Each structure stands twice: as C-alpha cells, then as structure tokens.
Amino acid sequence: MSYETTVAGLGIQRTGTDATSTAKLGQRSLGQEDFLALMTAQMKNQDPFKPVDNTQMVAQMAQFSSLAGITEMSTTMKAIADKLGASTPADALSWVGKTVLTEGVTAYPRSDGGVTGAVELDGDASAVDLTIKDAAGTVVRQVAMGAQGKGAVGYDWDGTTDSGAPAGSGPFTITAKATGTDGKAVAARNLVWAPVTSVTLTDGQPVLNVTGVGHIAPSAIRQAA
C-alpha cells in the first residue's frame, strides 16, 4: 500500500508545504507514525451518518498492532546483534598474556634474534620491500620479498644485518613498501607479533595494551597465539 493511494482513498487532501510534508513526497511506504496519523484522520473525517464499518476498523487496528510488533522485534533483534558483536571487558581480559599479530612497526626479537611478522597489502604488488632499523635508527637490513598478492604475506627475518652480523637485541623498527605493476604505490602495513600486557577501559570500551604497539581495540587483532 503506497502512501499516496492510502491518502487518496481516505479523501485527505495533501496540501502541506512544510519540511515534514515535503519530506513525505518521496516516501513510498507507510511507517508506524504515518499509519496511526492516517487512521486518526479517517476517524475525524468520517461521515457521522456512515461511520466506518467495525470490521474494517478492527482489521486496521490489527494491521497497526502487527506493524508495531514487527518494529519492536526488529529493534530488539538489532540490540541483541550489537551485544553479540561487541567486545566486553571480560572478553578483552582473555587476551592478556597472549601474543597477537597486529599493525605496528616496533618488533622485539625472539631469543634466537629473529623476528617473525607479516605485510598486509591492499592490492597485488610486483615488489614488496622491508626496511629494518635498530634502536638507534640505523638501517641494518633491507629485505626484498618480490612480487606478492593482495592480503597478508608472512616473513621471518633471521636477525642478521646485510653483512651477516647479528643485528642486536632490538627493538627494531620495520616498515614495508609495496609497488604495483603500474609502478604506483600499493598500500602496505607491517604487522608485528607482540604480547598483550593489560586491558583498560576507554569511554566504556575495552582497549588492549600491546608491548611496542600501544593501545589497540580487540578488533585490530589479525591472529593470536
């Protein structure tokens, strides 16, 4: 049932020019407020000698009740979905003590001196290059990963410099650069493995404190170990 057909059937002349009336011009279906307004207008404008049939009125009331019920159910279902999709403080606490893969440039080496991470690409790349710097900001290693497809591409650096000497104990700064087949830059983000040390609440939302990375939302985690 369209808005215009219902209004015309009730004999109501649409002459409003205010913002609300104008907004209704593009509306193709009735909402709960429109239904109630039209039913009220119908009762006000009915012929007292030919009142609306009781059966018809009951049917309209049933339609209104059904519409209200569907609207309320839709609101409730959305609230449930939002609750299920949210991360509660209790959920966030389960991350403490775990090592997670997330976006970052600061990496701490393993006990053997190596670093495992990944590069996240927004598109296919003909060349992906890593630049690794030590704590003093000196470049210690440059790694050419070659052509890579869109998505996350893992790497494992052995912790040595370009000359083969130990690069040190870190922490290291790792940045990624990617180039597409057209010679243009492809968006690339370095992902690091780092431990979650604690959880804090910011504006009521849980935030994870990750070593070398800082504060991140639980949704920023790509993997966990």
CATH class entry, domain 90-224: mainly beta
For the cut 80, the answer to whether the pLDDT of residue 53 exceeds it is no
**Model confidence pLDDT, tens digit, residues 112-153:** 889 999 999 999 999 999 999 999 999 999 999 999 999 999
pLDDT of residue 4: 53
Among residues 187, 188, 189, 182, which one has the least CA distance to residue 126?
182
Separation between Cα atoms, residue 142 and residue 133, nearest integer Å: 9
For the cut 60, the answer to whether the pLDDT of residue 165 exceeds it is yes
Domain edges within the chain: 3-85, 90-224
Q: How does DSSP assign the chain, residue by residue? A: --HHHHHHHTT------SHHHHHHTT--S--HHHHHHHHHHHHHTSBTTBPPPHHHHHHHHHHHHHHHHHHHHHHHHHHHHHHHHS--HHHHHTTTT-EEEEE-SEE---TTS-EEEEEEESS-EEEEEEEEE-TTS-EEEEEEEEEE-SEEEEEEE-SB-TTSSB--S--EEEEEEEE-TTS-EE-EEEEEEEEEEEEEEETTEEEEEETTTEEE-GGG--EE-
User: Which is more confident, 209 or 6?
Assistant: 209
* Mean of the per-residue pLDDT values of the chain: 79
pLDDT of residue 81: 52
Percent of the chain with pLDDT over 90: 46
pLDDT of residue 202: 79
Report the predicted TM-score, pTM, of the whole model to 2 decimal places.
0.60
pLDDT of residue 17: 44
For the cut 70, the answer to whether the pLDDT of residue 161 exceeds it is yes
pLDDT of residue 204: 77
For the cut 90, the answer to whether the pLDDT of residue 7 exceeds it is no
Q: Within a 10 A sphere around the Cβ of 193, how many other Cβ atoms?
A: 22
For the cut 70, the answer to whether the pLDDT of residue 208 exceeds it is yes
Query: How would you classify the pairing of strands 172-179 and 139-148?
Result: unpaired
- Cβ-contact 103, 190 below 8 angstroms: yes
Query: What token pair was written down for 186?
Result: 């492809």
